[in-house]
A = this chain, B = another copy of it.
Amino acid sequence: MGYAKIAVNGYGTVGRRVGTAVNAQYDMEIVGVVKTRPTFEAMTAIDKGFDLYVPDSDMIGAFEKAGIEVAGTLDDLLDKVEIVVDCTPNKVGASYKSLYVEKGVKAIWQGGEAHELAEFSFNAEANYDDAIDRNLARVVSCNTTGLTRALYPLEQEYGVEKARATLIRRAADPGQSNKGPINAIVPALEMPSHHGPDVNTIMPNIEIATTAVKVPSTLMHLHGLTVALKNDFEPEDIVDLYEGRPRIYLVSGGDGVSDTAKIMELSKELGRSRNDMFENAIWKDSISKYQGELYLFQAIHQESDIVPENVDAIRAMCGLESDGAKSIAMTNKKMGIGK
């Protein structure tokens, strides 16, 4: 059995979470995380035992002034690892590709980068096998991950004739206080939205149309799905199908979980790190059949649903486990996913 040494480039919303999730596993470990500024995230990274690196030695001074120890540069760090998880801001990640390749480290990017950068887009349930021993991969965005987790089981069991989704997107993450809107609904005027084609990077044969709207909330994305299936179904069958899936969490308005804020409250009671909801939260009582089609609502925790996917991508790419289902089960167990 192998063991992977890992760098995280970018210790922000996603990087912090990947750090925690990786170190909870028994077959991989964080060697260091890369941060550009000496903020509270940097300080608490040290408290958590992560060695801090900077992209450029010019930045070391600012960290020293803040009393934060720096272990070296990204370049130094890449010499010590087998794989880097790039969690830098959207479109910044691409600029590091040549460095990663030159250094001979495997690399995982997030969904803010284009499919073409890695030429392979990953979702653990849908294409784990294709990731084994790869050098480059992109874990798809939070929204695409959420759509894939909902649609892939339907495609497997019933066949998807056509999927439609409306994405009501939270406009900013909880800590992004500079971003609005405060009081507006903002449609993505180009129709359909880019999310449908992004699902096709994982499931190329599915017919899907998506539209998107941005709203003044910070907590979760909400997806309204309408799916025409090739085979007949009853709503109870779909509930059963999802209950058997590893990264679906069924919630119910009847239990008081009536909105995205209530899901975040539920998450506080589940005791995961940072109160994250790593699964798709699908409303059991929204699953219905109308005019022959499947309707449902799900909520996606934009900051965390891609985190277990990153762990699985590492395991596949580094050849630590050849069975996707086993990797998913291991990842879940160590992250507290599944009852």
Contacts and interface: CB of A to CB of B under 8 A. Distances in A.
Interface of A: 16, 37-41, 43-44, 47-48, 66, 162, 164, 166, 168, 170-172, 174-187, 189, 191-192, 207, 209, 211, 213, 215-220, 222, 224, 226, 251, 253, 255-262, 264-266, 268-271, 273-275, 283, 285-286, 288, 290-291, 293, 295-297, 299
Given A66-B255, A174-B265, A224-B166, A216 B288 contact: no
Contacts of A286: 187, 189, 191
Given A174-B261, A226-B164, A290-B191, A215 B40 contact: no
Contacts of A47: 269
Contacts of A274: 268-269, 275
Given A177-B261, A180-B181, A191-B296, 17 more contacts: A39-B256, A40-B255, A40-B262, A40-B269, A174-B264, A175-B264, A177-B184, A183-B218, A186-B259, A187-B297, A189-B285, A192-B295, A213-B224, A213-B297, A215-B216, A268-B274, A271-B273
B255 A217 contact: no
Given A39-B255, A182-B179, A187 B265 contact: no
28 contacts: A37-B256, A40-B251, A40-B262, A40-B265, A43-B255, A44-B270, A164-B226, A168-B185, A171-B182, A174-B183, A174-B261, A175-B264, A177-B180, A177-B181, A177-B261, A177-B262, A178-B180, A179-B180, A182-B182, A182-B183, A182-B218, A183-B217, A184-B262, A186-B259, A186-B260, A187-B283, A209-B291, A211-B224
B185 A220 contact: yes
B191 A288 contact: yes
A185 B299 contact: yes
B217 A182 contact: yes
State the majority secondary structure of interface residues on A: mixed
A175 B261 CA distance: 5
A293 to B, nearest CB: 8
Contacts of A213: 168, 222, 224, 297
A62 to B, nearest CB: 11
A265 B13 CA distance: 9
Contacts of A217: 182-185, 215-216
A50 to B, nearest CB: 11
A293 B268 CA distance: 40
A259 B41 CA distance: 15
Nearest to A255: B40
A289 B192 CA distance: 9
